[in-house]
Amino acid sequence: MAFALVHNSTVNGGSMKKRWFPLLIMALVPMVMFVSCKDDDSSSPEETTYETLTMYMEANNMDLSDITSDWIIAASAIVDNLDDYYIMDIRAEADYLAGHVPGAVNSTFGGILDDAAANTAGLPIIVVCYTGQSAGHAVVALRLSGYPDARVLKFGMSSWHSDFDRWSSNTADIATDHSNWTMDAVTATTDFDYPTLSSSSNDGATILAERVDAMLDGGFKGVSGSDVLETPANYFINNYWAQTDVDQYGHIVGAYRIKEDLTLDAAGFLHLDPNETVVTYCWTGQTSSVVTAYLTVLGYDATSLKFGVNSLIYNTLEGHQWTGSADYEYETG
């Protein structure tokens, strides 16, 4: 039609103008299309799975500070009011039958979410393990799955009665005067990339459920203090202390001190290397278990230094120590 219009418009003085006008339109169309495509290319990139997950968690009060708020409780605080709690013991069945907190139900690490549904009264959940460490992983799974008041029994069944003590044999002073324990400044933080996550969904809640399941499927992640002390270069070491504690006690060679920065809104997780095994250590291995489970959900290759610095500088510590069992009554069978 455009070429017909050109040839049929040569009968008056405006023929040249009419002839070139359709050609001008034809020339401009590709330019408009080019500009339009260029504008499309400059649009914001699609959210990554990690970004979708973390934005959902932040919007639903699931930052690390929320997960580590009031997350642990001592045996002395519940012994006189056990009926006020739903106590889930995730030790092996044989150990549960040999003795457990009165009224506790036996569960498993992997089945903790399914078994929590049996808590029809909606009581606050307390998770019991051997030492208070693997329970930290389980409590993270619960808190990220609709049980925000779930807590760890401090020091686990070891704290309840000495018949089940697995703590006393794991305190040590192997870092005292060791060349890989230092009073020097911790390593300065730097920025890395976020972990790369994959999911079949772009829904934050679905991604979170998948990541919690993956964490539970992987089991408790822990490494001995002696291994980290002897081969610190094998790990990205996350000292989870306040600076005043580092100044007083020192730290493992090569450690970063990353604690206050670990918030989703401040992008502090960029200080962790997603391409290395991130080992977090604290006083007793209980807080670091919680942090490790959380990092695993976010996609990090994370592990917890078992028994914390109680396994490294026990007799140097002025607090945060294992102090023994209470020897409360327990049930069998």
What is the per-residue pLDDT across 146-161, written as a single tens digit (0 to 9) for each? 999 999 999 999 999 9
Mean pLDDT of 114-143: 98
- Asked, for residue 44, whether it belongs to a domain, the answer is no
pLDDT category of residue 254 using cuts at 50, 70 and 90:
very high
Same domain flag for 185 and 312: yes
Mean pLDDT of 21-32: 39
- pLDDT of 144 over the 50 cut: yes
Q: What does the pLDDT read at residue 42?
A: 38
Burial label, 212 (beta-carbon count in 10 A; 0-12, 13-18, 19+)? buried
Please, are residues 241 and 308 in contact by the beta-carbon 8 Å criterion?
A: no
Within 8 A by CB and 6+ apart from 211, the residues are 53, 197, 297, 298, 299
Name the residue with higher pLDDT: 256 or 27: 256
Q: What does the pLDDT read at residue 3?
A: 34
Same domain flag for 19 and 90: no
- Asked, for residue 245, whether it belongs to a domain, the answer is yes
Q: What is the CATH number of the domain that holds 254?
A: 3.40.250.10
Which residue's entry shows tokens 């569960």? 107
pTM, whole model, 2 decimals? Answer: 0.87
Write the pLDDT tens digit of every residue in 47-102: 899 999 999 999 999 999 999 999 999 999 999 999 999 999 999 999 999 999 99
Q: Report percent pLDDT > 70 for the chain.
A: 86
Same domain flag for 28 and 99: no
Number of separate domains in the chain: 3
Q: What does the pLDDT read at residue 203?
A: 98
Q: What does the pLDDT read at residue 45?
A: 59
Q: What does the pLDDT read at residue 221?
A: 98
d(CA 59, CA 54): 8
For residue 6, the enclosing domain spans: 2-32
Q: Tell how far CA 223 is from the center of its chain.
A: 17
- Asked, for residue 12, whether it belongs to a domain, the answer is yes
Same domain flag for 187 and 300: yes
